[in-house]
A and B are shown apart, each in its own frame.
Chain A
């Protein structure tokens, strides 16, 4: 934490000191209530220790507590060191289900591990922001991001993705005529016709059963919808909700008569997905409830399923560390066969994140111990065939998927390690071939964009150094420029050939207060001498979703449009900017977003109409003057 943040935390603490605690929560009241309560235990097959042993452990714990650290609790330390597995570049598969069980047991035996995180498995629903920043993926590989597409008679925008050529699901899509939007309650996708100059509701496709829809694709006459469903199981006073994921494909060749074409299901809650080369790649996270006392026999409680089929042991990749309790399950589905799983692998892990390049899935997980290290696995996915290729590791953790990027057979990774930052270049065997370490002492990476032979990344403490790095020789990456400006950029996007757009926060020179969301345009024509040539601060606007969810932004350099929703004094507004070198950023639109919902508003355009969509409200604006021309409440 930097000084600014620490001071703020302290200030917040002081502001809450005078809060009175309700009498009912006083320790004596609690004791009274608890002692009147019949205590329930859950005796499980696996739990032989029981009450006496637990009490003993508590006592021992207390003694140890005094000897070790009387106040401070440090639940995150892991005694285990990476096993040999992490040293080798091969990815091991499990030999048997029993071997997997051993990892689970190791996790359960971890000094702290099991009791908490596991407790409420499946209850955590990812928020919109979550799903973006934890799963994000995609980097621009060709200079200018191509964010628009044309159909026979319309030019329209597409979801802003991490990797050009690899599509991502979202909550709003268009195909140049119809708008598709996930309704706020997550129960249906509405199809709206824009063709007659006015918005016209066509049909609403309801989700299966009690599913909650998360995201969808519109691809070649098909709507591919990802939803989650819960399987609740009562267990005494505890309800475990395990979440599974379903992908349902509808034929929407005739949008008025959508027809279900098939579905697949997979254990675990939805992490993310990708659509490329006619294949859908589905990622789900399946956590094993190690507290429920499973035994090696109960395979159904610790081995994931796809389409009601239990995974084979040799489709499960072992973790780099000696314990694990969750899987990232990856399946491929040929979009022409929407009822079949083509291939599945499960990465048995302790939790990680993913980046998908045009050829590979990179799964990376960080081990937090005395030394922060990130293990990266490369899994190739050509034509839907998933194959573990290699594993490697780098020091530090990866800020988000923009800090990991494949180019020309090499993987470039920007990391923050403790109080310093580094850049690593790995070959296809995940062996390090080049690096720069010890960058920006005391700061951390906020955003990055690596493009071909040049990369840019922002670290921040009180001012914002934008580093430029020459990546042309993978064995010898070089820092070639460093620009210091106040504030920081959280999101970087190439804007035309020689420009880099930064969206972040404007922070005062004192480093304590922010003035608002800030747009910066950097001239990168000379990457060794990058200049901030224009900037614009949205006063009293404290946050823009794009800073944590890149899908929330509409950026189209060709059309010269920068659109995003941001939150300020007056709630959520949608902003549209254009840019030119002389006049800088020009605010063309600043309108209240009227819909409600968890997801931030999305802006999409079809020809010269901008549609701002949030929850159940669609608002249409003429892009000639940004006057509202229509709206529709779904």
Chain B
């Protein structure tokens, strides 16, 4: 095996669907999700020499992706601080243009009630399949915090999913 594009793509193949889904869950629109995954791939490839074991590839890519998303949010917040808070309004507009590359509307609604950090924790649980301790390492927050935040994030989401469409338009 060599550290060339083919070897990288081989490892990438085993995780790219979940990477994209995670990105979509973070960025909440297909265009940004595609961007952040592309950026992650390039960063990962450029730094692959620092990776010590293929075992760690998935966690490593999820970590890079998480950081890329955080940076992107930060940049977006600078442009318009309000943007991230107004998801409710955005959602009803977007509802019309649902497409196959996007999250289902109920899932988007459920994600919309989460803070960025909660979304990362949920995303890493759902798409990375990670336990709280691993998430704690990836996001650099305490395991106890991950657990309690995950609990309350799930509480919030369950309420939205339970209510379904009615009242959320």
A133 CB, nearest partner CB in chain B, Å: 6
Closest A residue, CB atoms, query B41: A30
Among B1, B20, B74, B77, the residue within 8 A (CB) of A25 is B20
B25: A residues at CB distance < 8 A = 16
Residues in A whose Cβ lies below 8 Å from that of B55: 61, 64-65, 68-69, 73
A8 touches B158 (CB 8 A): yes
B30 contacts across to A, CB distance below 8 A: 22
Q: Which residues of chain B are near A40, meaning CB under 8 Å?
A: 46
On chain B, the residues within 8 Å of A351 by CB distance are: 140, 142
The answer, yes or no, to whether A353 is at the interface (CB within 8 Å) is: yes
A237's nearest neighbour on chain B, judged by CB, is B46
Asked if B101 contacts A22 (CB within 8 A), the reply is: yes
Contact with B126, one of A12, A58, A111, A398 (Cβ below 8 angstroms)? A12
Instruction: State whether A31 and B126 are in contact (beta carbons under 8 Å apart), knowing that A368-B143, A399-B144, A540-B163 are contacts in the complex.
Output: no
Residue A119 CB within 8 A of the other chain: yes
The answer to whether A406 has its CB under 8 Å from any CB of chain B is no
* A125 CB to nearest chain B CB (Å): 6
Known: A21-B16, A119-B63. 13 other contacts (CB 8 A): A8-B158, A15-B106, A16-B126, A30-B5, A34-B8, A58-B53, A112-B52, A112-B56, A116-B59, A119-B67, A398-B144, A400-B148, A542-B113
> B168 and A569: CB pair below 8 A?
yes
Residue of B nearest to A77 (CB): B133
Of B138, B143, B161, B162, the residue contacting A366 (CB under 8 A) is: B143
Nearest-Cβ distance from residue A502 to partner chain B, whole angstroms = 15
0/1 string, B45-69, CB within 8 A of A gives 1: 1111111111111111001100100
How many contacts A-B (CB < 8 Å)?
286
Give a binary string over B107-122; 1 marks a CB under 8 Å from any A CB, 0 the rest.
1001001011100001
Q: Which residues of A contact B71 (CB under 8 A)?
A: 120, 123
Chain A residues with CB under 8 Å of B137's CB are 75-76, 117
Ordered nearest first, which 6 A-B pairs have the shortest CB separation?
A61-B53, A31-B9, A116-B63, A120-B67, A34-B5, A54-B49
Say yes or no: B74 contacts A125, CB within 8 Å: yes
A39 / chain B contacts, CB cutoff of 8 Å: 45-46
Chain B interfacial positions (CB closer than 8 Å to A):
1-10, 12-13, 16-17, 20-21, 24-25, 30, 34, 37-38, 41-42, 45-60, 63-64, 67, 70-71, 74, 77, 81-82, 84-86, 88, 100-104, 106-107, 110, 113, 115-117, 122, 125-127, 131-134, 136-145, 147-152, 154-163, 167-168
Pick from A13, A184, A291, A567 the residue with the most CB of B within 10 Å: A13
Whole-angstrom distance between the Cβ of B64 and the nearest chain A Cβ: 7
Q: 29 pairs across A/B with beta carbons < 8 Å? A: A5-B150, A9-B154, A12-B157, A19-B17, A19-B100, A21-B17, A22-B101, A31-B9, A34-B8, A37-B45, A54-B3, A58-B53, A59-B1, A60-B53, A68-B55, A73-B57, A74-B134, A119-B64, A120-B64, A123-B67, A123-B74, A129-B115, A291-B50, A446-B148, A490-B148, A542-B156, A542-B160, A547-B152, A596-B81
How many residues from A make CB contacts under 8 Å with B?
A: 100
Q: How far is the CA of A60 from the CA of B55 in the complex (A)?
A: 10
A540, B9: Cβ atoms under 8 Å?
no
Max chain A Cβ within 10 angstroms of own Cβ: one of B77, B132, B159: B159
Closest to B25 in A: A16
Task: Verify A548–B152 contact, CB threshold 8 A.
Answer: yes
Chain B residue numbers with a CB within 8 Å of A33 are 41
Stretch from A166-174, A248-256, A259-267, A512-520 forming part of the interface with B: A512-520
Query: Given the complex of chains A and B, what is the CA–CA distance between A508 and B149 in angstroms?
Result: 20
Closest Cβ of chain B to A269, distance in Å, is: 11
Bound: A4/B110 CA distance, A: 16
A130 to B125, CA, bound (A): 19
A548's partner among B46, B70, B101, B149 (CB-CB below 8 A) is B149
Residue A629 CB within 8 A of the other chain: no
Q: How far is the CA of A543 from the CA of B149 in the complex (A)?
A: 11
A residues in contact with B113, CB < 8 Å: 542-543, 567
| CB contact between A514 and one of B34, B37, B155 (< 8 Å): that residue | B155
User: A21-B16, A65-B55 given as contacts; is B70 within 8 A of A123 (CB)?
Assistant: yes
Residues of A within 8 A of B42 (CB): 34, 37
**Nearest CB in chain A to that of B100: its residue:** A20
Q: What mask results when residues 507 to 527 of chain A are scored 1 for a CB within 8 Å of chain B, else 0?
A: 100001110100000000000
Nearest chain A CB to B150 CB, angstrom units? 7
A59 to B48, CA, bound (A): 13
Interface pair B56/A25, CB less than 8 Å apart:
no
Interface-central residue, A22, A34, A366, by most chain B CB under 10 Å: A34
Closest to A125 in B: B74
Q: Provide the A400-428 mask, 1 if CB < 8 A to any CB of B, else 0.
A: 10000000000000001000000000000
Query: Which chain A residues border B48 with CB–CB below 8 Å?
Result: 54, 58
Contacts of A8 in B (CB 8 A): 154, 157-158
B residues within 8 A CB of A512?
Answer: 158
A514 to chain B, nearest CB (A): 5
Known: A41-B49, A58-B53. A16 touches B103 (CB 8 A): yes
CB-based contact B53/A65 at 8 Å: yes
Q: Are B156 and A76 in contact (CB under 8 A)?
A: no
Q: Which residue of chain A has the shortest Cβ distance to B118 in the bound complex?
A: A129
Most buried by A among B47, B51, B58, B101: B47
How far apart sit A61 and B43, CA to CA, in the bound complex (Å)?
20
- Which residues of chain A are within 8 angstroms of B155 by Cβ–Cβ distance? 505, 507, 514, 542-543
Quick check: A597 and B125 within 8 Å, CB to CB? no
| Chain A residues whose C-beta falls within 8 Å of the C-beta of B53 in the assembled complex | 57-58, 60-62, 64-65, 111-112
List A residues 1-54 near B (Cβ within 8 Å): 1, 4-5, 8-9, 11-13, 15-16, 18-22, 24-28, 30-35, 37, 39-41, 49-51, 54
How many Å lie between the Cα of A59 and that of B100 in the bound state? 37
- Chain A residues, Cβ within 8 Å of B2: 55
Please judge, given known A-B contacts A25-B38, A120-B67, A597-B85, whether A58 and B51 are in contact too, CB under 8 Å.
yes
Minimum C-beta distance from B15 to chain A (A): 10
Which residues of A have CB within 8 Å of B84? 598
Closest to A186 in B: B81
Residues from chain A with a CB closer than 8 A to the CB of B57 are: 73
Q: Is A463 an interface residue (CB 8 A)?
A: no
Which A residues from 580 to 634 make CB contacts under 8 A with B?
A: 596-598, 615
List of A residues within 8 angstroms of B9 by Cβ: 27-28, 30-31, 34
Taken together as a complex, chains A and B put the C-alpha atoms of A237 and B101 apart, in Å, by: 30
User: Chain A residues near B126 (CB, 8 Å)?
Assistant: 9, 12-13, 16
